[in-house]
Structure 1
Amino acid sequence: MPEAPSGLERDGTARGARDRPPAMSDVAKLAGVSHQTVSRVLNDHPNVKPATRQRVQEAIAELGYRRNEAARALVTRRTGAIGVITEDSPLYGPTMTLIAVENAARSQGTYVSVATVTRWEVATVQATLEHFLDQGVDGVVVIASHDEAVRAVKDYSRRVPVVMVGPSQVSGGIHTVAVDQYSGAGLAVGHLIDLGHRDIVHVSGPRVWLDARARERGWLDALLQAGLATSDPLPGDWTASSGFRIGRELLGRRDVQPLPTAVFTANDQLALGLLHAFADAGVPVPQEVSVVGYDDVEGSEHFFPPLTTVRPDWTALGARCLERMTAAIEGEPAEGVLVGARLVARASSGPART
């Protein structure tokens, strides 16, 4: 085979081009398409023939081309990155929400920078928002169902596009995405009512959490709509230890007040503690007391007995969050979006005792 002409590689690419990172023009030349076609492939434009798209993608892979995000940002005034603020907490809901947002962002080629806060204090949250502003992110997602978080973020929605995940609605032009906690609680209580339960107690989460209050309202309204008697919720703090303590308290007053036939807990960890307390006392679940949780945490199907619970649609939550972020960046009017949940029936719930 004859040698390539001086100054050219065998594929016709100038040697000088190999001394620098490959450019979009190199991809276009190798694929035999226009610069505009390469741009359309990179931006996932629908009007590209499959064969052409494949040829461009093969050229990108062969050359090792990477888009120059800094140059792109100068043209579009966007970086393709968003900031995410979440709580420094092992709680399942915030963790699953973060994973859902990251997965949805990755699927559309958006980069995520994560910052955690130990407490939802105004100064801490606003310092984190300033950090993201310095990074030039296109917008910020705040994962929080806490009153303090809402207060801390409100003033910043005019400086950077913000989406809050947790509140069902926030005044001040902030886009929101939330699991429909109220309806989810209604599913749990409705399931117990259908099983014949008429004495359904609620172990609540901390009242400073929007999720806890929404689940409590869902429990209460479901009882009222069914014409059943209501009682004050038993306050918990999201932990299994709290559920265990409340279970012990219920057991300790059996001489003066019978155990309820069913308990709906504000999350699965509270249910876990409750099941522990009942097991220690020899109280069979669900024969004596049915227990229903919320969240469907990893492993809840292996609780003893396997836990009936409510599973939020985490995938939809992430997708709707990114949709709202795009809307916020484009300057569309703020909107609140609710995502559904479904009941997962397992062995911890059964017919009411007679």
Structure 2
Amino acid sequence: MGDVARLAGVSTQTVSRVVNGEPYVTEPKKDAVLAAMRELGYRPNAAARAMKRGDFKTIGVLYRTLRSVGNRKALEGIVDAAAAHGYSTVLIPTTTTRSSYPPGALEQSSIDVAIVIVSSSLGGDVEVPPYLPVPTVVLSSGAPERASSVSIDETSGAREVVAHLLGLGHRTVHHLAGPERSIPARARENAWREALIEAGCPVPEVVRGDWSAESGYEATRALLATQRPTALFAGNDQMALGAYRALFEAGLRIPEDVSVVGCDNIDESVSFPPPLTTLLMDWDLIGRQALQAALGMLDDPTPSTLTIPSTLIVRASTGPAPAP
């Protein structure tokens, strides 16, 4: 900048004003500065300018895993929305242990705001850094008071699934749940159990997977070894796909013998044989709303809470309960 100022015959302050698009620079001086910049090949250092202003135009996304469909889709929503607002996105992986956080995960990052994708713990607080140097949004209903939260209404969705299946005449609904430490899995499981109790229906023992199709297959095989369900609510669409395979191998038809409902509405769910009834969890929208909340905290740091409803999409995998 000093070289540009000397060549243009102006002060470094004038060069700074031209670089930052500030007013109060005469056209002749502005033209001289721009000509000197071109001649010297000068380009403003964006990082240095950001450090001076405290404005990095960067979103930090803290995550533990991106294996799940929900986490990946939420990240896509964050990245797309950030780009639309002129922000870049940096990924900050957390540790795999439940109680520790990488030292300086946020303090040493050149970011304006942070979005935390909570995945596995039962309390959002343990996945949020103990010190928040920038406005922070947590993708979980379990966010600490110092952070904003954006989440999906897991409870009403699971209740809607149970009501749908009981309305088809099924005596009860079996549940293929996700990992026990998962916040969404526990929320869906609790809502499923409460809905059955309130309806006066038997509450079967839960079988559990790890969100993968293979785990859904193994869990359903174990279930079929001791019981013959007529309705199965899987914690996500991948496990529902595994359940499809196990039911097919057992000679059972969907939905004539067993009705199956998934969760997430992945792109492939409409192509399952038959197309899968599933809960739409709009994770892309969750990511976009989280970005909006994060940017809003730059103007007003007061934490906010937003809960987005899920939607039951009924397809051909659910039908009337088979005759006794």
Report the TM-score when normalising by structure 2.
0.80
Report the Cα offset of residue 297 of structure 1: 1.6
Q: The residue matched to 1:288 in structure 2 has which SS?
A: coil
Report the Cα offset of residue 190 of structure 1: 2.0
Matched, 1:270 2:234: no
Q: What is the aligned counterpart of 1:156 among 119, 131, 138?
A: 131
Aligned partners of 2:197 and 2:124: how far apart in 1? 31
Residue of structure 1 in register with 2:29 after alignment? none
Residue of structure 2 in register with 1:114 after alignment? 91
Report the Cα offset of residue 324 of structure 1: 2.0
Residue of structure 1 in register with 2:249 after alignment? 280
Whether contact under 8 Å (2:71, 2:283) holds in the other structure is no
Instruction: For residues 258-282 of structure 1, give each alpha carbon's deviation from its aligned partner in whole angstroms, at most 9, with x where no partner exists.
Output: x121010111111111110010111
- Which letter maps to 1:96? K
Q: The residue matched to 2:316 in structure 1 has which SS?
A: coil
Q: What pairs with 1:121-270 in structure 2 (closer than 5 Å)?
A: 121-123=98-100, 125-127=101-103, 130-147=104-121, 150-157=125-132, 159-165=133-139, 167-253=140-226, 257=227, 259-270=228-239
Aligned partners of 2:221 and 2:127: how far apart in 1? 38
- Which letter maps to 2:108? D
Instruction: Identify the range of structure 1 (327-336 vs 227-236) with the bigger mean alpha-carbon deviation.
Output: 327-336
Whether contact under 8 Å (2:124, 2:142) holds in the other structure is no
* CA spacing shift, 1:222–1:73, aligned 2, 3 Å: same
Q: What pairs with 1:22-101 in structure 2 (closer than 5 Å)?
A: 69-70=46-47, 73=50, 76-101=53-78
Aligned partners of 1:95 and 1:120: how far apart in 2? 21
Q: The residue matched to 1:142 in structure 2 has which SS?
A: strand
Aligned partners of 2:231 and 2:17: how far apart in 1? 64
- Which letter maps to 2:265? D
* CA spacing shift, 1:169–1:333, aligned 2, 3 Å: farther
Whether contact under 8 Å (1:163, 1:175) holds in the other structure is yes
- Which letter maps to 2:314? A
Aligned partners of 1:234 and 1:218: how far apart in 2? 15
Report the Cα offset of residue 235 of structure 1: 2.1
Q: What is the aligned counterpart of 2:289 among 293, 296, 320?
A: 320
Aligned partners of 1:91 and 1:181: how far apart in 2? 16
Report the Cα offset of residue 335 of structure 1: 2.4
Report the Cα offset of residue 122 of structure 1: 4.1
- Which letter maps to 2:244? L
* Matched-pair identity in %: 34
Residue of structure 2 in register with 1:352 after alignment? 321
Structure 1 residue runs of 5 or longer lacking an equivalent are 1-15, 17-21, 29-33, 37-65
* CA spacing shift, 1:23–1:342, aligned 2, 3 Å: farther
- Which letter maps to 1:208? R
Report the TM-score when normalising by structure 1.
0.74
Report the Cα offset of residue 242 of structure 1: 1.5
Instruction: Find runs of 4+ consecutive structure 1 residues off by over 4 angstroms.
Output: 22-28, 66-72
Whether contact under 8 Å (2:125, 2:142) holds in the other structure is no
Whether contact under 8 Å (1:169, 1:336) holds in the other structure is no
Q: The residue matched to 2:318 in structure 1 has which SS?
A: coil
Report the Cα offset of residue 252 of structure 1: 1.7
Report the Cα offset of residue 87 of structure 1: 3.0
Whether contact under 8 Å (1:154, 1:174) holds in the other structure is no
Whether contact under 8 Å (1:154, 1:172) holds in the other structure is no
Instruction: Identify the range of structure 1 (69-78 vs 189-198) with the bigger mean alpha-carbon deviation.
Output: 69-78
Aligned partners of 2:70 and 2:143: how far apart in 1? 20
Aligned partners of 1:133 and 1:119: how far apart in 2? 20
Aligned partners of 2:283 and 2:168: how far apart in 1? 28
Whether contact under 8 Å (2:95, 2:102) holds in the other structure is no
Aligned partners of 2:260 and 2:55: how far apart in 1? 49
Residue of structure 2 in register with 1:333 after alignment? 302
Aligned partners of 1:213 and 1:250: how far apart in 2? 20
Q: The residue matched to 2:263 in structure 1 has which SS?
A: coil
Aligned partners of 1:197 and 1:72: how far apart in 2? 64
Aligned partners of 2:261 and 2:166: how far apart in 1? 12
